Amino acid sequence: MFELKDRKNQRYLTLMLHILVWGIVVNLPLLSTDHAPANITEYFRGWIPPTASALIFYINYFYFIPRFLFLKKTWQFVVINIVLYTVVIFLLEEIRTHVVPPIRQEHVPKENEIIIRFIISFAMITGVSVAVRSTGEWFRSEDSRKELEREHLKSELLNLKNQLNPHFFFNTLNTIYGLIIQNQEVAQDAVHRLSKLMRYHLYDSNERYVPLRKELEFMVNYIDLMKLRLTPNVIVQYKFPESTHDIMVAPLLFIPLIENSFKHGINLNKPSEITMTMAIVQQKQIVFYIRNSFFPKRENDQSGSGIGLDNLKKRLNLLYPDSHTIVIHQDDVYFDCTLTIQV
């Protein structure tokens, strides 16, 4: 609704700008002359060259440029403009000679000089027309590109939400089912965390940006629920800032790294560890660091394909272009990742 209104306002302003500019151009010879027009004929005569220039401008603007120049038919564009110049100059000479001949004959240029002046003037007008139309097309293409980026961001976020391991919810429910018998207090807390996590995942994360404190709450709920199913030989540690200074971030930005660490950094039969820290530097920079054990996957195990990390990099490039860094290091023992975002 608002975008449509903005486009209408933009078209209205463009129209008014064209009227204003050509109004000035048409009346400029009359405003700059030292003497007033002797009669209506001389007044009308002063309008002829700028009117011809406007004709050249808009024929190119609306027809020749999009149908020839933008389609890379450069020679046709040049030839058709030469024909246009010839026709317009012929008409101007006819008008100048027979319709509204000059009253003052002193300092009247020769016919060849007049034609050369017209050709140079029309060529400059054509160049201006090309520049204006090209600039307008560039702005329109930029608007289209940004709209496509916004749609792409929405689809990327939707894919990320769908990608968030569905087995996590089923496994967590099964864990809670077991806890109901063993420890009802822990089971109740787990249900509460799961409900908050799902509410954020389904509703809050639809926003373009969310408060960092909500993102951190989602991360903590996810981590604590995942810890319920781990064995004692798995150590999970995290340290997140207590104050977020009302910083806003893109939703579900860090969860691919956390999910990746639980997917590929844990072996229930071997000592494993996951360490996560986040720091806010001068309220302008978020530094998220994650380190987890690395257990190579079997060749037929598709869970290690790295799709989550690839999607994260794409989102970062779209949401934080030139204002983020992500450094990943992996060896035979550990996987390390540092994500830095300027906010």
Mean pLDDT of the chain: 78
The DSSP annotation for 187-227 comes to HHHHHHHHHHHHHHHHTGGGSSSEEHHHHHHHHHHHHHHHH
Specify whether 287 is located in the same domain as 191: yes
Number of folded domains that form the chain:
2
Is the pLDDT at 142 greater than 50? The verdict is yes
Closest-CA residue to 266 (of 302, 304, 299, 308) = 304
Specify whether 77 is located in the same domain as 201: no
| Euclidean distance between CA atoms 159 and 14, whole angstroms | 40
Q: Give pLDDT, residue 304.
A: 44
Amino acid type, 163: Q
pLDDT tens profile 66-108? 888 888 888 988 898 888 888 888 887 777 776 655 555 555 5
Asked which of 88, 122, 152 is the last residue of a domain, the reply is 152
Angle, alpha carbons 231-199-161 (nearest 5°): 75
Closest-CA residue to 153 (of 76, 253, 264, 59) = 253
Q: Give pLDDT, residue 2.
A: 40
Asked if the structure places residue 158 within a domain, the reply is no
Please name the helix (run of DSSP H) or strand (run of DSSP E) that holds residue 279, with its range, or none: strand 272-281
Q: Which span out of 2-11, 99-108, 125-134 was modeled with the highest average pLDDT?
A: 125-134
Task: Kindly report each contact of residues 99-102 with a partner whose C-beta sits within 8 Å and lies 24 or more positions away, as own/partner.
Answer: 100/41, 100/42, 100/44, 100/45, 100/48, 102/42, 102/45
Domain of residue 108 covers 2-152
Amino acid type, 10: Q
Contacts of 278 (CB under 8 A, 6+ apart): 216, 239, 240, 241, 254, 286, 287, 288, 289
pLDDT tens profile 37-73? 555 555 566 667 777 888 888 888 888 888 888 888 8
Q: Give pLDDT, residue 341.
A: 96
334-342 β-sheet, strand order: 234-239, 272-281, 285-293, 334-342, 324-330
DSSP state of 109: P
Asked if the structure places residue 52 within a domain, the reply is yes
Q: Which span out of 150-154, 155-159, 206-210, 272-276 was modeled with the highest average pLDDT?
A: 272-276
Asked if the structure places residue 111 within a domain, the reply is yes
Please name the helix (run of DSSP H) or strand (run of DSSP E) that holds residue 287, with its range, or none: strand 285-293
pLDDT tens profile 200-229? 877 887 788 899 999 999 999 989 988 888
Cβ atoms of 47 and 79 closer than 8 Å: no
Q: Give pLDDT, residue 120.
A: 82
| Torsion angles phi and psi, residue 338, rounded to 5 | -120, 120
Asked if the structure places residue 159 within a domain, the reply is no
Asked which of 152, 180, 195 is the last residue of a domain, the reply is 152
pLDDT, average across residues 315-327: 89
Specify whether 177 is located in the same domain as 321: yes
Is the pLDDT at 293 greater than 80? The verdict is yes
Contacts of 181 (CB under 8 A, 6+ apart): none
Asked if the structure places residue 110 within a domain, the reply is yes
- How big is the chain by its Cα radius of gyration, in Å? 35
pLDDT band at 11 (very low <50, low <70, confident <90, very high): low
**CATH number of the domain within which 261 lies:** 3.30.565.10
Cβ atoms of 253 and 232 closer than 8 Å: no
Specify whether 316 is located in the same domain as 262: yes
Contacts of 294 (CB under 8 A, 6+ apart): 264, 265, 330, 331, 332, 333, 334, 335
Specify whether 122 is located in the same domain as 216: no
Specify whether 146 is located in the same domain as 244: no
pTM exceeds 0.75: no
Specify whether 123 is located in the same domain as 27: yes
pLDDT tens profile 257-280? 998 898 888 887 889 999 999 999
Specify whether 192 is located in the same domain as 144: no
Asked which of 132, 152, 172 is the last residue of a domain, the reply is 152
Cβ atoms of 286 and 280 closer than 8 Å: yes
Specify whether 168 is located in the same domain as 147: no
Q: Give pLDDT, residue 18.
A: 65
Specify whether 112 is located in the same domain as 225: no
Specify whether 319 is located in the same domain as 184: yes
Specify whether 173 is located in the same domain as 130: no
